[in-house]
Amino acid sequence: MTSRNLCFKLMKEDLKRRTWTLAITILGLLFSILVPVALKCSEYAERYGADPMAPVSSAQYRQIENIINLAGVNGFAIFILIILSLLWAASGFQYLHNSRKVDFYHSIPVKRHLLFFSRYANGILVPAAVYLLFQVCAAALILRSGIPAYELGDIWWRAWVMNMVYYSMLYTTAAAAMMLTGNLVVGILGTGVFYGYGPMAAALVFGYLDNWFETFYMTREANDLLYRIVQYSSPFANYMYAVTDLGEGLWNFPQAAGAAAVTAALAMAVYGLYRIRPSEAAGKAMAFPRTCMPIKVLLVIPAAEVFGMFFYLLRPTTVWLLFGTVCGAVLMHCVMEIIYHFDFRKLFAHRICLGLCTAFAVLLSLAGRYDWYGYDSWVPDAADVESASVQLGYGDDWVTYGSLEKRKDYNGEEYYGWDYGWGQTEYIFDHMQITDLYPVLELAENGAAAARRMRSQAEFYEESGYDGMRYVVQYRMTNGSRKTRTYVVVMDEAAQEALASVHDNLEYKTGIYPLLQQESGDLASVYFQQYNRSKPVKLDRDGMEHLLQAYQADLMEQTLESRRKELPLGTIQFRTVQMEEAMKWNQAEHPYEGLEDRCYYPVYPSFARTLEALEEAGISPKLMNEDIIESVAVYHYAVYGEDGTYDDSSDTAWNAVYKEPAMIRELAPALCSTAYLSMNPYYEIVRSGGTDVTVTMKQEADEAEPRVISCELDLNRISEETAETYQLHPVS
On whether both 274 and 319 belong to a single domain, the answer is no
427-479 confidence digits (pLDDT tens): 999 999 999 999 999 999 999 998 888 877 654 444 444 457 889 999 999 99
On whether both 580 and 609 belong to a single domain, the answer is yes
Distances (CA, A) of 232 to 10, 82, 169, 270: 35, 18, 12, 19
pLDDT at 582 over 90: no
Helix (H, G, I), strand (E, B) or coil at 461: helix
699-715 confidence digits (pLDDT tens): 888 888 899 999 999 99
Q: Which has the higher per-residue pLDDT, 143 or 127?
A: 127
pLDDT at res. 305:
96
pLDDT at res. 254:
86
DSSP type of residue 204:
H
Distance separating alpha carbons of residues 497 and 493, to the nearest angstrom: 6
On whether both 31 and 15 belong to a single domain, the answer is yes
Residue 655: other Cβ atoms inside 10 A: 10
pLDDT at res. 732:
61
pLDDT at res. 106:
74
pLDDT at 153 over 50: yes
pLDDT at 337 over 80: yes
Domain membership flag for residue 459: yes
pLDDT at res. 459:
44
Domain membership flag for residue 144: yes
On whether both 562 and 694 belong to a single domain, the answer is no
On whether both 101 and 220 belong to a single domain, the answer is yes
DSSP code per residue over 316-336:
-SHHHHHHHHHHHHHHHHHHH
On whether both 475 and 578 belong to a single domain, the answer is no
Domain membership flag for residue 623: no
pLDDT at res. 675:
93
pLDDT at 594 over 60: yes
Domain membership flag for residue 624: no
Distances (CA, A) of 204 to 26, 200, 302: 39, 6, 7
244-283 confidence digits (pLDDT tens): 888 888 888 888 899 999 999 999 999 999 989 888 888 8
Strand order in the sheet with 482-490: 385-392, 468-477, 482-490
Structural domain including 445 reads: 382-512
The set of residues, in sequence order, having a beta carbon less than 8 Å from that of 37 and lying 6+ positions away, is 67, 70, 71, 138, 141, 142
On whether both 104 and 188 belong to a single domain, the answer is yes
On whether both 17 and 157 belong to a single domain, the answer is yes
Q: What integer is the mean pLDDT of 572-582?
A: 91
Taking the CA atoms of residue 464, residue 465, residue 470 and residue 473 in that order, the dihedral angle to the nearest 10 degrees is -30
On whether both 477 and 579 belong to a single domain, the answer is no
pLDDT at 611 over 70: yes
pLDDT at res. 50:
54
pLDDT at 521 over 90: no
The residue from 616, 643, 668 where one domain ends is 616
User: Whose CA is closest to 312, among 323, 302, 327?
Assistant: 323
Q: Which residues pair with 249 in a beta bridge?
A: none
340-358 confidence digits (pLDDT tens): 888 777 777 888 999 999 9
Domain membership flag for residue 151: yes
Q: What integer is the mean pLDDT of 313-318?
A: 90
pLDDT at res. 240:
93
On whether both 250 and 109 belong to a single domain, the answer is yes
Residues in the chain: 732
Domain membership flag for residue 377: no
The residue from 260, 287, 314 where one domain ends is 287
Dihedrals φ, ψ of 98, to 5°?
-125, 120
Distance separating alpha carbons of residues 396 and 95, to the nearest angstrom: 66
Q: Are 396 and 424 in contact (CB under 8 A)?
A: yes
166-218 confidence digits (pLDDT tens): 999 999 999 999 999 989 999 999 999 999 999 999 999 999 999 999 899 99
pLDDT at res. 462:
44
pTM, full prediction: 0.82
The residue from 370, 401, 421 where one domain ends is 370
CA angle 319/322/326 to nearest 5° reads 140
Q: What integer is the mean pLDDT of 47-67?
A: 72
Residue 520: other Cβ atoms inside 10 A: 14
Q: Please give the helix or strand (H or E) that residue 649 lies within, else none.
A: none
On whether both 636 and 656 belong to a single domain, the answer is yes
pLDDT at res. 412:
64
Domain membership flag for residue 539: yes
Domain membership flag for residue 656: yes
pLDDT at res. 644:
63
pLDDT at res. 613:
94
Q: What integer is the mean pLDDT of 546-575?
A: 95
Distances (CA, A) of 436 to 388, 473, 476, 490: 9, 13, 13, 21
Q: Are 204 and 302 in contact (CB under 8 A)?
A: yes
Taking the CA atoms of residue 542, residue 545, residue 546 and residue 551 in that order, the dihedral angle to the nearest 10 degrees is 160
Q: Which has the higher per-residue pLDDT, 627 or 46?
A: 627
| Out of 8-22, 318-332, 403-417, least confident range | 403-417
Domain count for the chain, please give it: 5
On whether both 421 and 480 belong to a single domain, the answer is yes
